[in-house]
Amino acid sequence: MYKAPIGEIAFALKKVADLEPAMEKGLLGELSPDLLDAVLEEAGRFASEKIAPLAEGGDREGTSVNEGVVTTPTGWKELYADWVAGGWNALTGPEEYGGQALPTSLSAAVFEMWNSASMGFALGPTLTVGAVEALETHGSDELKAAYLAKLVSGEWAGTMNLTEPQAGSDLSALKTKAERADDGSYRIYGQKIYITYGEHDFTDNIVHLVLARLPDAPVGVKGISLFLVPKFLVDADGSLGRRNDVFCHSVEHKLGIHGSPTCTMIYGDGSIDGEEAGAVGYLIGEENRGLVCMFTMMNNARLLVGVQGVGVAEAAFQMALDYARERRQGRSTRLAKGAEPSGQMSPIVEHPDVARSLLTMKALTGCARAIAYACGHATDMARATRDEASEARIWKERANLLTPIAKAFATDIGVEVASLGIQVHGGMGFIEETGAARLLRDARIAPIYEGTNGIQAIDLVTRKIGQSDGAAVSAYLAELAETVDAVRGRNAADFGATGDALAAALDDLKEATAFLARALADKDMDTALAGATSYLRLFGLTAGAVYLAKGALADTGRTERTHLARFMAENLLGETAGLKRQVIAGAASLAAAQAILQ
């Protein structure tokens, strides 16, 4: 069973993502090292003791829908109530609406634990966080007054309604209609698919944020508006009014996250007796500017989806390590040399091949964790420095840069680590009761939703490396280089060839970055896009490996982090040379071979 690695998480926050110096300067509000530890400890206990025990049952039972009413797995409604009562939903919400306004980085750390315990359960609150942010940033005072406090506390839940059958990655194809009503509200008509927690029994009300198009809207993404559509209308006194014309039509039968209802939602088809058809909606932000508001939700949601990858990877590592320490098969060389009585079998963790798998799992999880926390911290720093425009911009661009990497690299890692976890279990890994298979099934959605990892890579290449004419990415690479220099300067035997390996990877990343910048300057989009996915992985591996080494430098008392950073550098960074080659020399053969696919 999952045990929250709170020491590891606290270290990554303080020493790797640099919360420690920020707290010292008072940039993170009331957050102190002690408070941070206390929050992590409480969250870790809740995740391990309350959520994790309900994960397997929730997966087995799944969700069902009957005449628009969705039933969640046994115990999950009570679990959610318990979780809300603990104040966990309010962790990052604005203080004026009852939130604790704690940093995004800490939220990412806590969400990692919820996701390790049960990704299907943690997914619901992830959406509410996004709704709070969008409403806080772009909503009118009336909307905030009516909805925000209850979304912050978790008494009500939020959703994101983007996808339609013909509009997935490409939102320009949205068809859901919004019509202006006389009272200043709107009526929404249309169908949305893949709506996570679109309907459930956790809360009395559900607040849908819905992208739709006004009759006179420009074509494409510039004609999309964002609306708040509550399941139950809210009366002037704040009490629940009549049922709105939005219903769950069906829930999907999915590979994983079975406890999380993935709904097809029907807006405005006239399902309410005695009422005219049309779901009542309220505009968030300006008409036709919905995409801007949605991106507010999405940036944070993307980070938290990246955190799902970290969470599942951590859970998979723990499960595999526990098994490998218990399971005995064969004789390791240590046994063969007579260290244990003859006839006995070794725990499989002693076999080099199994150890390689486990260390790969641990190293990649650590890389992804560090990137995600650093991304969250950049968001927090942008907020903390908002009075100094130039510094805030630097941090904002840092967050922008790291978001697609945190999302895509970490979720790819989630799948990879969960699959390795199955392999470590041997035949047991394929048996559902073991739990390792569930982690792979759950992990597999994360590279897809909140913008596929391909979309993330395109975002990184086409929007992020060009920020401030390349200054943002250059500054980040220079920071990584400082750590690499420090490793080399340390000259410690335990680091082995870590410094050289990191330097080589960083050179690969720099070279690939420069190549893509030139391709973009030349408007050679085919070349830039062909290497996008490889570039993102190259970026993630290099940054992650540097972060592991940074942790090792900061943890002078123990050698474990140095060993792991060295394993990462000497064993797993060899991939970067090939990735660089794909970026700078792969486009021509890709373009030529595309004819095969026609």
Q: Which residues are catalytic?
A: 450
Q: With contact defined as beta carbons under 8 Å apart, do 80 and 124 qualify?
A: yes
Site string for its own copies, 298-317 (x = CB under 8 A): --------------------
Closest Cα partner for 336 from 351, 321, 322, 323?
Answer: 351
Instruction: Give Cα 342 to chain centroid, integer Å.
Output: 48
User: Judged by CB under 8 A, which stretch of 4-12, 112-120, 141-149, 575-583 contacts its own copies?
Assistant: 575-583
Residues 194-213 that bind its own copies (CB under 8 A): 194
| Interaction mask 146-185, its own copies, x per CB under 8 A | -----------------x---xxxx--x------------
Out of 215, 338, 427, 557, point to the residue binding its own copies (CB under 8 A): 427
CA distance 397 to 279: 38
The conformation of residue 326, written as its DSSP 8-state character, comes to: H
Does position 7 interact with its own copies (CB under 8 A)? The reply is no
Q: List beta partners, residue 265.
A: 192, 248
Interacting residues of 443 by C-beta distance below 8 A, sequence separation 6+: 119, 256, 308, 309, 312, 313, 316, 411, 414, 415, 417, 418
Nearest to 153 by CA among 202, 111, 191: 202
- Applying CB under 8 A, which part among 12-20, 84-92, 296-304, 430-438 lies near its own copies? 430-438
Strand ranges inside 257-327, DSSP E: 262-267, 279-284
426 binds its own copies (CB under 8 A): yes
Find, among 36, 108, 163, the residue nearest to 402 by Cα. 108
Q: Does 457 bind its own copies (CB under 8 A)?
A: yes
Per CB under 8 A, the segment of 118-126, 138-146, 181-189, 342-350 that binds its own copies is 342-350
Task: Name the residue nearer to its own copies (CB basis): 140 or 452.
Answer: 452
Contact 472, 537 (CB under 8 A): no
Instruction: Name residues contacting its own copies, limited to 214-253 (CB under 8 A).
Output: 219, 252-253
Taking the complex as a whole, how short is the minimal distance between the CB of residue 186 and its own copies, in angstroms? 26
Q: Given candidates 234, 437, 509, 543, which one binds its own copies under the rule CB under 8 A?
A: 437
Q: Are 262 and 251 in contact (CB under 8 A)?
A: yes
402 part of the interface to its own copies, by CB under 8 A: no
Q: What are phi and psi of 264, to 5 degrees?
A: -90, 125
Q: Which of 181, 431, 478, 521 binds its own copies (CB under 8 A)?
A: 431
- Count the neighbouring beta carbons within 10 Å of the beta carbon of residue 16: 28
Of 237 and 353, nearer to its own copies (C-beta) is 353
Q: Which is nearer to its own copies, 236 or 597 (CB)?
A: 597
Among 96, 432, 482, 485, binds its own copies (CB under 8 A): 432
What Rg do the C-alpha atoms of the chain give, in angstroms?
Answer: 24
Task: Tell me which stretch binds its own copies (CB under 8 A): 23-31, 70-78, 125-133, 420-428.
Answer: 420-428
Q: Binding residue for its own copies (CB under 8 A) from 127, 193, 214, 413? A: 193
Whether the CB-CB separation of 193 and 184 falls below 8 Å is answered with no
Nearer to its own copies, 102 or 354 (CB): 354
Q: Does position 586 bind its own copies by CB under 8 A?
A: yes
Which DSSP symbol is given to 72?
A: P
Q: Are the beta carbons of 175 and 164 closer than 8 angstroms? A: yes
Binding residue (CB under 8 A) for its own copies from 276, 430, 468, 556: 430
Chain positions 247 to 286 lying near its own copies, rule: CB under 8 A, are: 252-256
* Residue 118 C-beta: closest distance to its own copies, Å: 17
Q: Name which of 382, 360, 219, 361 is nearest 299 in CA terms.
A: 382
Which candidate, 302, 313, 258, 259, places its Cα nearest to that of 80?
259
Query: Which residues within the stretch 123-142 sit at the binding site for its own copies (CB under 8 A)?
Result: none
**Does 359 sit near its own copies (CB under 8 A)?**
yes
Which H or E run contains 207? strand 206-212
Residue type, position 517, single letter: A
Within residues 514-543, the interface with its own copies by CB under 8 A covers 525-526, 529-530, 532-533
Looking at the Cβ atoms of 334 and 518, the one nearer to its own copies is 334
**C-alpha to C-alpha distance for 124 and 101, rounded to whole angstroms:** 20
Q: How many residues of this chain bind its own copies (CB under 8 A)? A: 101
Closest to its own copies by CB, 180 or 563: 563
Work out whether 453 is an interface residue with its own copies (CB under 8 A): yes
Closest approach, Cβ 124 to its own copies, in A, equals: 17
CA–CA distance from 35 to each of 23, 28, 38, 39 (Å)?
A: 11, 11, 5, 6
Nearer CB in complex with its own copies: 112/350: 350
Q: How far is the CB of 389 from its own copies (least distance, A)?
A: 34
What is the distance between the alpha carbons of residues 440 and 434, in angstroms, rounded to a whole number?
Answer: 12
Q: Which is nearer to its own copies, 174 or 382 (CB)?
A: 174
> Measured in whole angstroms, how far is the alpha carbon of residue 423 from the centre of its chain?
25
Say which residue the tokens 């595309």 belong to. 594
Question: How long is the chain?
Answer: 598
Using CB under 8 A as the binding rule, whether residue 494 contacts its own copies is answered as yes
Q: Does 598 bind its own copies (CB under 8 A)?
A: yes
Q: Which of 415, 484, 487, 509 binds its own copies (CB under 8 A)?
A: 415
Compare residues 137 and 559 and give the one whose CB is closer to its own copies: 559
Residue in the structure block whose two tokens are 């420009």 = 218
Rounded CA gap, 473 and 487, in Å?
Answer: 21
Is there binding between residue 338 and its own copies (CB under 8 A)?
Answer: no
Nearer to its own copies, 252 or 511 (CB): 252
Please identify which residue in 333, 463, 471, 556 interacts with its own copies, judged by CB under 8 A. 333
Question: Toward its own copies, which CB reaches closer, 272 or 321?
Answer: 321
- Residue 592 in the binding site for its own copies (CB under 8 A): yes
Q: What are phi and psi of 74, to 5 degrees?
A: -50, 125
Pair 205, 231: CB distance under 8 Å: yes
Binding residue for its own copies, selected from 496, 511, 554, 555, defined by CB under 8 A: 496
Q: CA 95 to CA 325: how far, in whole Å?
A: 46
Least gap, CB of 297 to its own copies (angstroms):
18
Q: Which residue has the tokens 């071979």?
A: 593
CB of 563 to its own copies, least distance (A): 4
